[in-house]
Amino acid sequence: MNDWTLDYHAFDSAQEGLREALCTLGNGYFATRGAAGESEAGEIHYPGTYLAGGYNRLSTEIAGRVIENEDLVNLPNWLCLTFRPEGGDWFNPMAGELLDYQQSLDLKAGVLRRRLLFRDHQGRETTLTTQRLVHMGQPHLGAIEWYIRPENWSGRISVRSALDGRVINAGVERYRQLASTHLVPLSTDTPCDDTIRLQVETCQSRLRIAQAARTRLRVNGQAVEGAHQILQESGYIAHEMTFELTAGDEAVVEKVVAMHTSRDRAIAEPGLAACQSVVRAGTFTELLESHRRVWSHLWQRCDVTLDGGESAQMILRLHIFHLLQTVSPHSVDLDVGVPARGLHGEAYRGHIFWDELFIFPFLNYRIPEITRALLCYRYRRLDEARHLAREAGYQGAMYPWQSGSDGREESQQVHLNPKSGRWIPDHSALQRHVSAAVAFNVWRYVEVTDDRAFLAYYGAEMLFEIARFWASAASWNAQRKRYDICGVMGPDEFHDHYPDAQTPGLDNNTYTNVMAAWVLARAAKVYDMIGEQRRQELSETLSLTEQEISDWTTIGRALFVPFHEDGILSQFEGYEHLQEFDWAGYRERYGDIHRLDRLLEAEGDSVNRYKASKQADVLMLFYLFSAEELGDIFAQLDYPFSRELILSTIDYYQQRTSHGSTLSRVVTSWVLARSDRRQAWDLFQQVLLSDIEDRQGGTTPEGIHLGAMAGSVDLIQRGHTGLEVRDGVLRLNPCLPEALSGLHMRLRFRGHWLELDLDGGRLTLTAPEGWAGLERILVRDQVYWVGESQRIALYFSPDEGCWQPDRG
């Protein structure tokens, strides 16, 4: 397998949905699924184009009530391109005979290619070779190039190139009962001979979208005018060209498309901008060259190279690739968050969850400007989070579990269980821990970048308001002399209420309480860090008093953490009284039990009754914090903490988790990386396969799982190198899986690029020329200085159990 391409060697209609998601091309501004140009939305294909931040809201009456959903809108399909020989049908690879089919996604260049040999019912054989890109340097441009070669026939041929705005959101079967027509057609026209233009608007958010397509034709290298025809109907415009071809000729169709919307800056209006962009755009070849160049710059920053690990390398790159298509340097200038399912499909409606926790670490060490922009997405919605807190009876700021355009709570109120066909109340908005994740992400970003200005101006305000929220959510329990946080859900979505309770919510979810304790302590420290002037300004604007800060410290030291009798950390208070689940029996009965919540509900039972988790919950703590940091938090809370506690807690939950979320294996692999390397590697392999093989049984065609994708890279980046920044010090503690003999990557630490090479038992860290003031680097808690040579080389001495300078 080539490490830089995702290859398919045959057409498989059952796999098309998956391939379309995996072959999506994007640039952080917009993305388009890898559907073929001639395909139409239906059972097999689903062309979809999504704009970062392009949402619209619709209402539907379901189960006797009107519910509102905000969706990432499927925008007009700009891919439409097809041909037919005179008297023949429009090209449809499934109608005739496919003699050869090759498809490949070139990760290095960001190009999707297809080559096929097709025989139609009249025995005409045609070779079609296509390339497509969504420009990484010019975010409004996409381009397609088709080579059509009649192998054994000659005659007239028509090519049709269209823009189709009659599309709806139909990419997720579970949502089919919900309203899905978001676009209102505005106009179609032909601003110049070779260019067509389509304008549409979303019906509620009033987002105007303009696409312009320039289609040009060459036969054997010569431009061809041919007979032109324009076809138009509401929301659709096509350009049809008819010309002569002789067997062996090569016709090249080049379609360059520009998309602008009313969210864009520095334009007069989208229609004009789209037309200008497309008129000024270079040829496909020129665009390809500049596009490749930008991708090569991105790869210089972002590549992670493995020695060994079989197919891991290509998949890891595929994951980095999809991350950069969803968010890229273009995101820095946009007001967008990072959707959990990428810009690759309609699952979860393009909403933003806590998955940022899994995505930001990769960006922090490479393009932290993107993290900053994504954190600013949260900052701009701070007022909405304040409103949410007040509505729920709290103070400060409470971020929504699912966030979209304006930061209100977008979680659905009911969801469909496809197994039973029933609409079930959805309480997932009780996952208050998302606010802790926002605070945590602020702090981690600042640690890696030392961006004090961000901390003082945006970060501190978010941290203080989130700390305030947690302080207001904590209630004093006089009996146990601890603070409780009640009525919440942890990350494990299988548990949303106690078995016999009428009201949703659980008490003292350990993950939530420990995160709250961390936020409260961190906020108090940040208060001391931001300088007198900013402290005063924020104290005045937020009416913060010294007393309130001291309350945060007090509460942060006295939150309750439930333990089971045998000392295991409890997922939430009362978890140990739930019934054990018959894992073996259910596996035997159903095979795939990832979503046993749905299976049990369909049987009239409830997963709430069992010690069965969808995903890592308590274990998140060992994922987010190093053992040292967690030790400090437990000491702050005055609870015991030991290596045995970590190991027994991991073991306990590992046996009781269905991994119904792709995030779960990322976390479990991480927490096992040092205690059970083999199992950690097995889980890592499964994380790698989650999307490429659609391991969750049909979810990837609806959108990739970006948290798991980025998490897989982070497992290598931080998990196996022990990379961490704490107290301003870069720390490493490498522990490579047996299957890997080495790894190489570049890291950005506080504005400087470092190169990290791990090769067998050797570690080399190289700093850039002229970086004299390299700070301390800790490898397994020993101090090393890069010094004048700009480089440290160490080898691990098993005898001494530590790293030694490598003088060889």
Give yes or no for residue 348 binding ligand BGC (CB under 6 A). yes
- Of the pair 353, 610, the CB lying nearest ligand BGC is at 353
Write the interaction track for ligand BGC spanning residues 570-609; mark x where CB under 6 A is met and - where it is not.
----------------------------------------
CB atoms under 10 Å from CB of 55, counted, come to: 22
- Of the pair 77, 664, the CB lying nearest ligand BGC is at 664
Adjacent-strand bridge partners of 157: 85, 243
Q: In sequence order, which residues have a C-beta less than 8 Å from that of residue 12 and are 6 or more positions away?
A: none
Question: How far apart are CB 708 and ligand BGC at their closest, in Å?
Answer: 8
Q: How many residues bind ligand BGC (CB under 6 A)?
A: 12
Give yes or no for residue 340 binding ligand BGC (CB under 6 A). yes
> Which residue of 46, 353, 440, 784 would you call a contact of ligand BGC, by CB under 6 A?
353
Give yes or no for residue 663 binding ligand BGC (CB under 6 A). yes
Q: CA-to-CA distance for 248 and 127, rounded, in angstroms?
A: 10
- Of the pair 119, 415, the CB lying nearest ligand BGC is at 415
Give yes or no for residue 493 binding ligand BGC (CB under 6 A). yes
**Which one of the spans 141-149, 347-355, 463-471, 718-726 is the region binding ligand BGC (CB under 6 A)?**
347-355
| Parallel, antiparallel or unpaired: strands 5-8 and 25-26 | unpaired
Stated as kind and residue range, the H or E segment containing 235 is none
State both tokens at 646. 């970590």
Q: CA-to-CA distance for 383 and 410, rounded, in angstroms?
A: 16
Question: How far apart are CB 607 and ligand BGC at their closest, in Å?
Answer: 13
Residues 611 to 630 in contact with ligand BGC, rule: CB under 6 A: 614-615
Q: CA-to-CA distance for 294 and 135, rounded, in angstroms?
A: 9
Question: How far apart are CB 428 and ligand BGC at their closest, in Å?
Answer: 8
Three-state secondary-structure class, residue 79: coil
Q: CA-to-CA distance for 676 and 622, rounded, in angstroms?
A: 14
Residue found under tokens 């060697």 = 9
- Of the pair 299, 354, the CB lying nearest ligand BGC is at 354
Question: How far apart are CB 502 and ligand BGC at their closest, in Å?
Answer: 24
Question: How far apart are CB 51 and ligand BGC at their closest, in Å?
Answer: 20
> CA neighbours within 13 Å on the CB side: how many for 747?
27
**Which one of the spans 101-109, 163-171, 295-303, 353-361 is the region binding ligand BGC (CB under 6 A)?**
353-361
- Of the pair 377, 634, the CB lying nearest ligand BGC is at 377
- Of the pair 120, 409, the CB lying nearest ligand BGC is at 409
Give yes or no for residue 703 binding ligand BGC (CB under 6 A). no
SS3 sequence, 495-522? CCECCCCCCCEECCCHHHHHHHHHHHHH
- Of the pair 291, 433, the CB lying nearest ligand BGC is at 433
**Which one of the spans 351-359, 388-396, 503-511, 764-772 is the region binding ligand BGC (CB under 6 A)?**
351-359
Question: How far apart are CB 633 and ligand BGC at their closest, in Å?
Answer: 22
Q: In sequence order, which residues have a C-beta less than 8 Å from that of residue 757 and are 6 or more positions away?
A: 742, 743, 744, 763, 764, 765, 766
Which of the 8 DSSP states describes residue 395? S
State both tokens at 196. 């067509």
Write the interaction track for ligand BGC spanning residues 444-483; mark x where CB under 6 A is met and - where it is not.
----------------------------------------
> Which residue of 46, 354, 399, 483 would you call a contact of ligand BGC, by CB under 6 A?
354
Question: How far apart are CB 309 and ligand BGC at their closest, in Å?
Answer: 26
User: Taking Cα atoms as reference points, which of 653, 139, 50 lies closest to residue 351?
Assistant: 50
- Of the pair 401, 581, the CB lying nearest ligand BGC is at 401
**Which one of the spans 209-217, 218-226, 348-356, 417-425 is the region binding ligand BGC (CB under 6 A)?**
348-356
- Of the pair 355, 573, the CB lying nearest ligand BGC is at 355
Question: How far apart are CB 353 and ligand BGC at their closest, in Å?
Answer: 4
CA 44 remoteness from chain centre: 24
Contact yes or no for 334/124 (Cβ under 8 A): no
Question: How far apart are CB 341 and ligand BGC at their closest, in Å?
Answer: 7
Give yes or no for residue 409 binding ligand BGC (CB under 6 A). no
> Which residue of 110, 142, 271, 491 would you call a contact of ligand BGC, by CB under 6 A?
491
Q: In sequence order, which residues have a C-beta less than 8 Å from that of residue 85 and are 6 or more positions away?
A: 120, 122, 124, 126, 150, 153, 155, 156, 157
**How far apart, in Å, are the Cα atoms of 513 and each of 427, 471, 510, 611, 671?**
19, 11, 5, 20, 20
Residue found under tokens 């798991």 = 708
Give yes or no for residue 178 binding ligand BGC (CB under 6 A). no
Backbone angles phi, psi at 327, to 5 degrees: -130, 140
Q: In sequence order, which residues have a C-beta less than 8 Å from that of residue 154 and are 6 or more positions away?
A: 244, 245, 246, 247
User: Taking Cα atoms as reference points, which of 746, 760, 745 lies closest to residue 798?
Assistant: 760
Which of the 8 DSSP states describes residue 265? S
Q: CA-to-CA distance for 179 and 174, rounded, in angstroms?
A: 12
Establish whether 565 is a catalytic residue.
no
DSSP code per residue over 738-794: TTEEEEEEEEEETTEEEEEEEETTEEEEEPPTT-TT---EEETTEEE--GGGTEEEE
Helix ranges, 303-451 (H): 312-326, 356-364, 368-380, 382-391, 433-449
Write the interaction track for ligand BGC spanning residues 265-284; mark x where CB under 6 A is met and - where it is not.
--------------------
Q: In sequence order, which residues have a C-beta less than 8 Å from that of residue 582 and are 6 or more positions away?
A: none
Three-state secondary-structure class, residue 176: coil
Give yes or no for residue 490 binding ligand BGC (CB under 6 A). no
State both tokens at 689. 């396969």
**Which one of the spans 222-230, 327-335, 352-360, 446-454 is the region binding ligand BGC (CB under 6 A)?**
352-360
614 annotated among ligand-binding-site residues = yes
CA 420 remoteness from chain centre: 29
Question: How far apart are CB 664 and ligand BGC at their closest, in Å?
Answer: 8
- Of the pair 236, 348, the CB lying nearest ligand BGC is at 348
Q: CA-to-CA distance for 633 and 514, rounded, in angstroms?
A: 8
Cβ-defined contacts of 226-233 (< 8 Å, 24+): 228/193, 230/190, 230/196, 231/160, 231/162, 232/188
Q: CA-to-CA distance for 42 and 405, rounded, in angstroms?
A: 28
> Which residue of 88, 361, 707, 737 would you call a contact of ligand BGC, by CB under 6 A?
707
- Of the pair 212, 666, the CB lying nearest ligand BGC is at 666
Give me the count of residues in the chain: 808
Question: How far apart are CB 705 and ligand BGC at their closest, in Å?
Answer: 6
CB atoms under 10 Å from CB of 760, counted, come to: 12
Q: Which amino acid is at 356?
A: E
Task: State the catalytic residue, choosing from 70, 461, 493, 702.
Answer: 493
- Of the pair 70, 724, the CB lying nearest ligand BGC is at 70
Question: How far apart are CB 741 and ligand BGC at their closest, in Å?
Answer: 33
> Which residues define the annotated binding site for substrate?
354-355, 614-615
Active site residues: 493
Annotated binding site: 354-355, 614-615
Q: Which residues bind ligand BGC (CB under 6 A)?
A: 340, 348, 353-355, 491, 493, 614-615, 661, 663, 707
